[in-house]
Structure 1
Amino acid sequence: MVLLEFSIYPLDKGESLSAYVARCVEIVHTSGLKYQCHAMGTIIEGEYDQVMEVVRKCFEALQKDCNRIECIMKLDYRKGYQDRISGKVRSIEEKLGHVVQK
């Protein structure tokens, strides 16, 4: 199973990019994959081809009306493990003895 953290946004649309980010988050949401949004990006969990397909769809959605797009990705693969989006956080919380801020 793969965790993919990414952020994708246009560089030619001014300071406020939330409409473009929302367009991509909707693609992530409709993918059916487990995901988590945070202030600087989105984490999705699935098989390699599934998560890369989501990124491709986001790119194509922005490409329609954006002349310059930046995408930053970080990928973590661990064979035989699932539910790592929350499992990794739970592991840290257990070691700390308290819940971390979300």
Structure 2
Amino acid sequence: MIVALSITPLGVGDDVGRPVAEAVRVIRASGLPNQTTALFTTIEGEWDEVMAVVKAATDAVMAVAPRCSIVLKADIRPGVTNAMTAKVESVERHLAQM
């Protein structure tokens, strides 16, 4: 599965960089394939391992913020691996042909 995850700390003021960095640190330490962009961090793996990382990242934010909001989008496709990279490569191939 691929999960696009955004954890927004609430009640910490305008600068949320540090609490978000705590979540990203946990995600990167998980060893699962991941990529962080301006709005989301994408994680790829099996359901249980990805959801465990989502919980751990949320717990890391909650350790430094009184509240958080989570946006999660998932693509669940059993038996498929490396989809996080393959999907982007597919789009790039199509763009190159245009």
Residue 61 of structure 1: how far off its partner (Å): 1.5
> Runs of 5+ in structure 2 lacking a partner?
none
- Residues of 2 paired with 1:47 and 1:13: CA distance? 32
Superposition misfits of 4+ residues, deviation over 4 angstroms? none
1:35: which partner in 2? 34
CA RMSD between the two structures = 1.1
- Confirm whether residue 23 of structure 1 aligns to residue 17 of structure 2: no
* TM-score normalised to structure 2 length: 0.93
1:63: which partner in 2? 62
2:92: which partner in 1? 93
> Runs of 5+ in structure 1 lacking a partner?
none
Moved more, 56-65 or 7-16: 56-65
Q: Output the amino acid matched with 1:42.
A: T
Q: Output the amino acid matched with 2:76.
A: Y
Residue 96 of structure 1: how far off its partner (Å): 1.1
2:71: which partner in 1? 72
Q: Deviations over 1:56-77 (max 9, x none)?
A: 1111122223221101000101
Contact preservation (8 Å) 2:20, 2:61: no
Residue 93 of structure 1: how far off its partner (Å): 0.9
* TM-score normalised to structure 1 length: 0.89
- Residues of 2 paired with 1:50 and 1:20: CA distance? 22
Q: Deviations over 1:2-30 (max 9, x none)?
A: 00000102111111111011101110011
- Residues of 1 paired with 2:76 and 2:34: CA distance? 15
- Residues of 2 paired with 1:15 and 1:89: CA distance? 32
